[in-house]
Amino acid sequence: MISTAPGSEFFFEDQCKMLTLSLSPACVCSRYGLMGRLKRILLWVLGVYITIPFLVKLCPSIQAKLVFLNFVRLPYFIDLKRPQDHGLNHTYNFYLQPETGVNIGVWHTVPDQMWKEAQGKDREWYDSTFKSPYPVMLYLHGNAGTRGGDHRVQLYKVLSLLGYHVVTFDYRGWGDSDGSPSESGMTSDALFLYQWMKERVGSKPLNVWGHSLGTGVATNLVRRLCDRGTPPNSLVLESPFTNIREEAKSHPFSMVYRYLPGFEWFFLDTISANDIRFASDENVDHISCPLLILHAEDDSVVPFHLGKKLYNIASQSKSLSGHKLQFIPFPVSLAYKHKFIYRSPELCAHIHCGKKCFTVDNLCNDLRPTEQK
């Protein structure tokens, strides 16, 4: 029954208008138009998803760029000629030429104990410091960024505080170095710089530290050195993987394609087609020097299980028999992830400095050269 109370006619009239509007062609068309747009967006996303594997397969250089990420120069707008802008006021920037027409940018950070003396000094003075009794570390960084990346700079500072000379550089195609990236080029650059350093340090300890993709370069380098009978004093691998195929398969970027039929053919075989292998699992069978592996359990970029697998392979290596081999896991509770192992207060003990000599907030500044091994 329709109410005849005062004002009810207006309520009834409003309800009729609303019902009329809801059934109007314009409203119906609007609803169908929205659904149409959603369908078009979904089809576009699906098209991109399907197109990318074929694009990568047809243009293998795209996959190489994704492996190296040398075009990502985080942090942006930094002057690599001025390491002092990063708090490295005892670091000298210079350039070397591993090949004709290829210049690579290099940083040499002297031990913290020498920082006062280092102020205002030129390259000749920095080169002469290699004759000091302090040990030397060649640092090989991972993909993306430059030698000026923040987590890399923080590690240089820690190693310097522990009494190390730290020499690092940007591979060809990275930072302000010339050329284009390749596995062979990265390895050649590392070998050139190692030999350059060896000529200057003589019989003093010369060690190699690789991080992430740099661990692949490091094992390539150390394998060559060991094959020549001139191994380094030690090799440190931070967040390593077994080989680039297994790393690419485990990388979070591959998650959306990992279960796609033909994933290996589209993506992993394309990496191999670029002559990119970084086969650390093979290299450890040719390495004959102390080996230390550091890996955080919450590393999402290079999963922890790959570092552990590499250690298990290395433990079976005949060439490493008789040499110290150690695997140091860092629990999830520490939140070191992929880049922050340098924060560990146990790092000094792990790299065989002889004692637990510092914490993050209270770094020991009284290390003597004779305490270094």
In whole angstroms, give the CA distance from residue 309 to residue 281. Answer: 9
Q: Greatest CA separation found in the chain?
A: 108
Is 3 tagged catalytic?
no
DSSP 296: E
Is 299 tagged catalytic?
yes
Is 212 tagged catalytic?
yes
Task: Enumerate the β-bridge partners of residue 102.
Answer: 99
Listed residue (283, 40, 311, 286) closest to 183, CA to CA: 283
Four-point Cα dihedral 48, 50, 53, 55, nearest 10:
-60
Among candidate residues 141, 250, 338, 344, the one labeled active-site is: 338
Cβ–Cβ under 8 Å, residues 350 and 361: no
55: Cβ contacts below 8 Å, ≥ 6 apart = 62
Among candidate residues 160, 177, 188, 212, the one labeled active-site is: 212
What is the edge-to-edge ordering of all strands in the sheet holding 325-330? 91-99, 102-109, 165-169, 136-140, 206-211, 234-238, 291-296, 325-330
In whole angstroms, give the CA distance from residue 178 to residue 172. Answer: 5
Among candidate residues 112, 189, 281, 299, the one labeled active-site is: 299
**What residue has token string 């003093």?**
204
Residue 79, CA distances (Å) to 58, 101, 144, 166, 177 in order: 37, 22, 16, 19, 13
Which residues does the annotation mark as catalytic?
A: 212, 299, 338
